[in-house]
Structure 1
Amino acid sequence: MSTESPSAQNPAPARPLRRDAQRNRDALLAAARVSFAEHGMEAPLEQVAKRAGVAIGTLYRHFPTRLDLVQATFAGKLAAWQEAGRQAVAMDDAWEGLRLFLERLCELQSGDRGFNDLASMRLPATACLAGAQNDIHELGVRVVRRAQEQGSLRADLTPEDLAFVIWSHSRISEATRDIAPRVWRRHLYLLLDGFRAERAGPLPEPALTEEQLYRAMLHLGGDGDCGA
């Protein structure tokens, strides 16, 4: 017999927000998407509140920390990236899976400095976004391994090398977003040609280790706490 109380076995559902509170939350998320896209994850929260038409105290009532706001703002894009990874590993043609995985990522990054920041860095294991980042990393490993097993991807490419796509695309997107917002696809396809097994030549430096990549991405995140 269970020793848990009925309330522990069947926790009460979260109480829905009042209509005005839900309206404020929606306005804050819409404002955060714009502000983070324009200025990155360090966009001033006062700017977000002002754009949403609410006081800064209202923002903190809904999102006590910057990380809470970041998580809510980018939850949809992280889910889309994860779904692309799941689709990629299910495709019969593993090269097409790799292309889908990377092109979808670049689409999500394009024109969004905030998501560029999030995709480029690695948050500490204590951060609430770390689980999604871990899942995406594992999907990336599987995408790479499958393409190598089918012989379409050069054998010396490692999953850690995919970080170079993210980092380089971040700068390309920022430089061209208001000039030629889709030119990043040209760069991606040039990179993909370099990834093909039949184009492989000797590489002058070894790949980053998984630990080195983690440290590099953590460095890009600064202290990683996404504080206010």
Structure 2
Amino acid sequence: MTAQVGTRLRSDARDNRERILAVARLAFATEGIDVPIREIARRAGVGAATLYRHFATKDELLAEAFAEQMETCSAIVAEGLAAPDPWQGFRLVVERLMELHALDRGFARVFTSRLPEAVFAADRDRTLRMLLELVGRAKKAGPLRRDFVVEDLSLALMANEGIRAESPEMRVAASRRFAALMIQSFMADPVAAPLPPPVRLPLSRA
């Protein structure tokens, strides 16, 4: 009986942790990182004390909630950096980041949110170093405009975050067209190329 109770308690604790993380990811993605931790606990259906047993500080909760996004960002940038053609690698990074962000509105927070320094300090710095190296290679190769800065990509991601559509598929389609427009604007000598099909979007944010 004692073993069964212990197993159930561990299962309950695991369920609580997963529910807290799910609620936190959704809240941070849709409302920003300033959502109070007690509000996260309320939405997850647990007390603040239960939340703090799993995450001693808000920074710990942020780090865990954004861990998957950070890993995905790093993998995308690493893939772009490994491409034989730096311009094609740069294009891949822009396209993949925007497409994934269209499906997960919290995705761009890794680059565009003012997360505490303690959150992802090492991982984010490594990813940004890889991105800066890729940018330098693409500039040296010629296609990327010389005045491009990483903040321009952040601006593009922030604009991409504003896409509102009736379905995830339509958000992705709109994001692909926007990415194509941004990539052309980043070129040193822009070449007009066919864009992905347009998507009907609401004229004002709901």
TM normalised by structure 1 equals 0.69
The 1:80/1:114 distance shift into structure 2, 3 A limit, reads closer
2:45 partner amino acid: G
Report Cα offsets for 1:102-135 as digits up to 9, x if no partner: 222223433545444442134454x132222211
CA RMSD in angstroms comes to: 2.5
Matched, 1:96 2:88: yes
Structure 2 unmatched runs, 5+: 1-8, 192-206
* Equivalence for 1:130: 121
2:112–2:158 CA contact under 8 A, matched in 1: yes
1:166 partner amino acid: L
Report Cα offsets for 1:71-116 as digits up to 9, x if no partner: 1011011000001111101011222211221222223433545444
Identity fraction in percent: 36
2:59–2:116 CA contact under 8 A, matched in 1: no
Q: State the alpha-carbon separation in 1 of the partners of residues 89 and 116 from structure 2.
A: 29
Matched, 1:120 2:120: no
Matched, 1:110 2:102: yes
Matched, 1:187 2:178: yes
Counterpart mapping for 1:147-186 below 5 A? 147-170=138-161, 172-173=162-163, 176-178=164-166, 180-182=170-172, 183-186=174-177
1:40–1:113 CA contact under 8 A, matched in 2: no
Q: State the alpha-carbon separation in 2 of the partners of residues 111 and 49 from structure 1.
A: 25
* Equivalence for 1:28: 20
Report Cα offsets for 1:5-38 as digits up to 9, x if no partner: xxxxxxxxxxxx9332222111211222222233
2:43 partner amino acid: R
* Equivalence for 1:197: 188
Q: State the alpha-carbon separation in 1 of the partners of residues 62 and 107 from structure 2.
A: 9
2:69–2:110 CA contact under 8 A, matched in 1: no
Q: State the alpha-carbon separation in 2 of the partners of residues 57 and 68 from structure 1.
A: 15
Structure with more relative contact order (C-alpha pairs < 8 Å, separation 6 or more): 1
Structure 1 unmatched runs, 5+: 1-16, 201-228
Report Cα offsets for 1:195-225 as digits up to 9, x if no partner: 122229xxxxxxxxxxxxxxxxxxxxxxxxx
Query: CA shift at 1:58, angstroms?
Result: 0.6
Counterpart mapping for 1:35-74 below 5 A? 35-74=27-66
* Equivalence for 1:143: 134
Report Cα offsets for 1:123-173 as digits up to 9, x if no partner: 454x13222221121111111112222222223323343332233223x23
Query: CA shift at 1:178, angstroms?
Result: 4.5
2:147 partner amino acid: D
* Secondary structure, aligned partner of 1:199: coil
Q: State the alpha-carbon separation in 2 of the partners of residues 147 and 154 from structure 1.
A: 9
* Secondary structure, aligned partner of 2:18: helix
2:131 partner amino acid: G
* Secondary structure, aligned partner of 1:197: coil
1:38 partner amino acid: T
The 1:84/1:105 distance shift into structure 2, 3 A limit, reads same
Report Cα offsets for 1:18-67 as digits up to 9, x if no partner: 33222211121122222223322222433422333322211111112222
1:36–1:113 CA contact under 8 A, matched in 2: no
